[in-house]
Amino acid sequence: MKPRLLLSLFLSTAALAEPPHPQKNPGSPLMLSGAWVPEDTHRIDFEKLPRVPSEHAVVSDVHAQKDTPGVLDKKKGGVNQHNYLAFHDGKFWAMWSDGPGIEDRVGQRVKFATSADGLKWNTPEYLTPIPPNSAPDSPHYGTRTDKGFRHISRGFWKRDGELLALVSLDEAAGFFGKSLELRAFRLKDGKSWEDAGLVYQNAINNFPPLKLRTGNWMMSRRAYDYKTTGVHFLVGGVKGLDQWESFPVFGTASELKAEEPDWWILPDDNLSAVFRDNRRSGFLYRSFSTDDGRTWSPPIKTNFPDATSKISGLRLKDGRYVLVSNPCPAKRDPMTLSVSDDGLVFTKMLYLVGGRHIDYPHVMEHEGHLYVAFAGGKQSVEVLKVKLSDVDATQMPSTPLIGPEKPAARPKKKKKAP
């Protein structure tokens, strides 16, 4: 055997044997572990995962809008997607994308709603104005074309005591248009919104910024040509809403087709980022930064299963981490909650909701509970309220949770004509 091959095998074995670490072992694929985890994590019986109790609420549902004027897709009724939550000024806030057809077509706008308890929500209202030249009476409304524009919900940012809503704007032909920009809307009187200006040209984030130990803010960035340029991270946002530096994650376009990244701050202040892989490997990829987001380790395919779907992670107030995702590689069902002590390896995976198409989660913590917003079939905005004490009380099996057969990975989507 050639020395180089021997070295490669040795390094691969060492990475598997040793736990992941941003500096000592960034190449470890280990992200899911426990007596209940089979060697092939695609073999997990996801339907038999332990179930944690929750309370459920529907914020908005467009299934019944089939006969509404301006809704062009009579079978689908419209879109409700890209859900985000926040707690501000004594109440819960939700925002999401709302538009004609499925999904992200000309004329799509962002809506919001508020709630006193996270379960009973008021009537949704528009947060953004009509996109340029894309009103319901436009000949391009509800279509996919670069002659019309759309808004996409990008999350709430609590900055210097005020609540901002981040929204992208671009042409609605594909993903994304060359005019792509990220904008902020400011809550001005506790109930309405005004355009606060450009945040970054040629950018769409995935979740709102988090503050680093340096005092800088950081969020992910995809450019209109991200499929070839890869994922970047924006660092800054302190001197002004539009004051950022952009740093690439090399390999996110060549080693995988990175989509919808999420990231969190580890206990040692290093950073861990995870990526959905649009090559449909059926696993999450991971990269680390040890210099506050300026450089990143090569993305490594982990053993954490994934349905090629959006994920949402969070560091809890007690120092633990949670990750909400669709882990079954065959479909976006069920949605689960995974728990980690260190943000590196998750040891618990609990069943949240399933039996139907569910995706686009966003998780937040408030007063001993987790609130998870998600989309039902891309047509409803729904929320689960979960007690953290119930999460702690729910135990995993002591033997591998193996299903009857390995689920097939989700098939690749056929390209649609714009």
19 inside domain: no
254 inside domain: yes
**Residues of the domain holding 171:** 31-267+309-393
The per-residue b/e assignment along 140-162, b for 16 or more CB within 10 angstroms, e otherwise, is bbbbbbbebbbbbbbbbbebeee
DSSP string, 302-327: EEEE--S---EEEE-TTS-EEEEE--
- Tell me how far apart the alpha carbons of residues 52 and 54 are, in angstroms, rounded to a whole number: 7
The per-residue b/e assignment along 281-305, b for 16 or more CB within 10 angstroms, e otherwise, is bbbbbbbbbbebbeebbebbbbbbb
Nearest by Cα to 357 from 330, 338, 384, 337 = 330
Q: Is the pLDDT of residue 15 over 50?
A: no
Query: 389: which 2 tokens?
Result: 């004490």
For 125, what's the count of Cα atoms within 13 Å in the CB-facing half-sphere? 9
Q: Provide the residue count of the chain.
A: 418
The pLDDT tens digits for 113-157 are 999 999 999 999 999 999 999 999 999 999 999 999 999 999 999
- Tell me how far apart the alpha carbons of residues 104 and 221 are, in angstroms, rounded to a whole number: 18
61 inside domain: yes
The pLDDT tens digits for 352-384 are 999 999 999 999 999 999 999 999 999 999 999
334 inside domain: yes
Q: Residue 202 — pLDDT band, cuts 50, 70, 90?
A: very high
> What is the total count of domains within the chain?
1
410 inside domain: no
294 inside domain: no
Q: Give the helix/strand (H/E) hosting 229.
A: helix 226-229
CATH number at residue 117: 2.120.10.10
- Tell me how far apart the alpha carbons of residues 292 and 295 are, in angstroms, rounded to a whole number: 8
Termini Cα distance of the chain: 52
Predicted confidence at residue 318, as pLDDT, reads 98
Q: Residue 162 — pLDDT band, cuts 50, 70, 90?
A: very high
Pairing of strands 346-353, 335-340: antiparallel
pTM recorded for the entire structure: 0.93
Pairing of strands 335-340, 321-325: antiparallel
Looking at residue 290, its amino acid is T
Nearest by Cα to 203 from 173, 185, 229 = 229
The per-residue b/e assignment along 79-98, b for 16 or more CB within 10 angstroms, e otherwise, is bbbbbbbbbeeeebbbbbbb
246 inside domain: yes
Q: Is the pLDDT of residue 67 over 60?
A: no
